Structure 1
């Protein structure tokens, strides 16, 4: 029997402070709340290879804590509590997939902002603009997650900006 999306209990949400990642937090909370599940929000600091992995990352760690606090605020707005974690790794995508494996989550929900293809927008005679490229490009981290995660991966993409 197929599991329906609203039956997810363990969800991981990578956050970067973008509106899209906070939308992903809200969706994850709504889904997990229905089943008394858990939502884990992670912010990953990518540490340069020239530094030790456990290097003190001061400003970047402060930024990550602020972003995790914002994710917690979004969860509270949805009458839910999440568990936030700040990670340091060489590669964010790899760290997120490893965290998903370690926690045994059923899904990763990734919020992505729209990227404009090199050719810009194609403006149809009706409706909204769409990227010229046949596929919507994903960033490096989202692409790695999609290609390597052992669980479901949901992509939440924000709308393209309106035509001016």
Structure 2
């Protein structure tokens, strides 16, 4: 059986662990002559702050853009095409919306063939939203998943 990979999804949250996962995603993409898509998943605290106007959505977008530029540099160094998006990893309106479901929804939307997700330690840092998503993604993904 041969594995065909055209698009690798790398969920990120601004943490060092997610940037390391991007490095693995780029390596997989380079091996299969594929592209990488990085989805920046916003956590509950950030989403609530945006919804209550406690922080400006444009500021959040700017902060995530700085991180995704780092992702683009890693990919560019290896000649791998990269795209990115931002997703709310939490919703006050949809009970079933959480980082794991957002990652799997994004994988389906972009037709990802492979996922690379950080398996972060449970630090409790507000910005690190992927720490609990890895297990969910491993359980429910229909694509191959590398958890790093």
Q: What TM-score does the superposition give when structure 1 sets the normalisation length?
A: 0.66
State the partner residue of 2:72.
72
Residues 8, 59 of structure 1: alpha-carbon distance in 2 compared, 3 angstrom cutoff: same
Q: Which runs of 5+ in 2 are unaligned?
A: 91-97, 124-129
The alignment's C-alpha RMSD in Å is 2.7
Q: Distance in 1 between matches of 2:58 and 2:111?
A: 30
State the partner residue of 1:22.
19
State the partner residue of 1:3.
2
Q: Distance in 2 between matches of 1:64 and 1:50?
A: 14
Q: Which runs of 5+ in 1 are unaligned?
A: 117-137, 157-164
Higher relative contact order (CA 8 A, sep 6+): 2
Deviations 1:98-125 (A, max 9, x none): 0101122121101233458xxxxxxxxx
Judging by fraction of residues, say which structure has more helix.
Answer: 2
Given that residues 45 and 60 in structure 1 are in contact (C-alpha distance below 8 angstroms), is that contact kept between their aligned partners in structure 2?
A: no
Q: Distance in 1 between matches of 2:77 and 2:14?
A: 16
Q: Distance in 2 between matches of 1:76 and 1:44?
A: 22
Given that residues 115 and 145 in structure 2 are in contact (C-alpha distance below 8 angstroms), is that contact kept between their aligned partners in structure 1?
A: yes
Deviation of 1:50 after TM superposition, in Å, equals 9.2
State the partner residue of 2:62.
62
Q: What TM-score does the superposition give when structure 2 sets the normalisation length?
A: 0.72
Bigger Rg, structure 1 or 2: 1
